Amino acid sequence: MVPPISVRLKLKKINKFMSTTIIDGKEVACKIREKLAEEIAELKALGKTPGLAVVLVGEDPASQVYVGSKVRACEELGLYSQKWELPADTTQEQLVELIHQLNADERIHGILVQSPPPAHIDEEAVILNIDPRKDVDGFHPANVAKLVLEDEEGFVPCTPLGCMELLKAYGISTAGKHAVVIGRSMIVGKPMANLLVSKKANATVTIAHSRTADLPGLCRTADIIVAAVGRPEMVNADYVKEGAVVLDVGINRIADSSRPRGYRIVGDVDYEAVKDKCSAITPVPGGVGPMTIAMLMANTVKACRQLTR
């Protein structure tokens, strides 16, 4: 279970004239990591150190950044970590062999293979070879089933789990609300919908996607919108009714010659166009993003507890 945040977060406003709450993912993630640090210290006192192995195949720059962030988070919290950087020509068989090695390693409680792998790697086959008890990404079919069955022994994908923690931290009730999830991936869209429709959340959920008829009209019926479609700033003011809550899961690079790196990061929501209509919204960056790594750490600690009890 994710540690509760004992201190109610101070609601942040865009300015004194507006009522939109800016959901600060950095602050929520920091609170969760503080609680995790306490839990990890307790485990270490019992001779148990949570361990995470992160595997990267190839040299994708974005993936290298993500892997580096996960390893740093382990170091900061005192987790044991292994980082495996494999060449781009690593075969399927070699990767699976490494996963089996990590499955058998008692120091490792969580295994994460950074997505996406090179095109010649069958990602689904890789996931199937990870011990479900160490599948801290929550992608193995055994954990997908546990999510649907609301079995708390399973692991929930980190990003949707982080979204739920943001709603909880800001006291945003989902019970009886209509939530529209834009996106149907196994990484965000489908698990997000399952979490929202669960008996704990009690929302009424619609999953939408690129083939949905009159998507803006559908979204205007939503009390909560989760944008996870992977299209820069697609969700504009026409999609959002007054007072809706908007969670923007998107992370997209937009060319911008005025920036030192030549690009800027935006979400799937046109933040400036939408923010004045919302009761609460996550910015990009600084919203959902920081929660993903915090939830990965939480899942690793949970795996350690379950594997060593």
H, E, C per residue of 39-88: HHHHHHHCCCCCEEEEEEECCCHHHHHHHHHHHHHHHHHCCEEEEEEECC
Question: Which one from 24, 131, 135, 137 is the annotated catalytic residue?
Answer: 137
DSSP letters spanning 207-271: EE-TT-TTHHHHHTT-SEEEE-S--TT-B-GGG--TTEEEEE---EEEE-TTSTTSEEEE-SB-H
Structure letter (DSSP) for residue 117? P
CA dihedral 222, 241, 284, 168 (to 10 degrees): -50
137 is catalytic: yes
Residue 182 near residue 208, CB atoms below 8 Å: yes
Alpha helices, DSSP H, located in 78-201 = 92-104, 123-129, 141-149, 158-169, 189-197
Which residues have C-beta within 8 Å of that of residue 59, sequence separation ≥ 6? 88
248 is catalytic: no
In the block, residue with structure tokens 């290298």: 64
- Residue 12 CA to residue 277 CA, distance in Å, equals 16
Residue among 253, 277, 249 at smallest CA distance from 263: 253
Give catalytic residue positions.
70, 114, 137
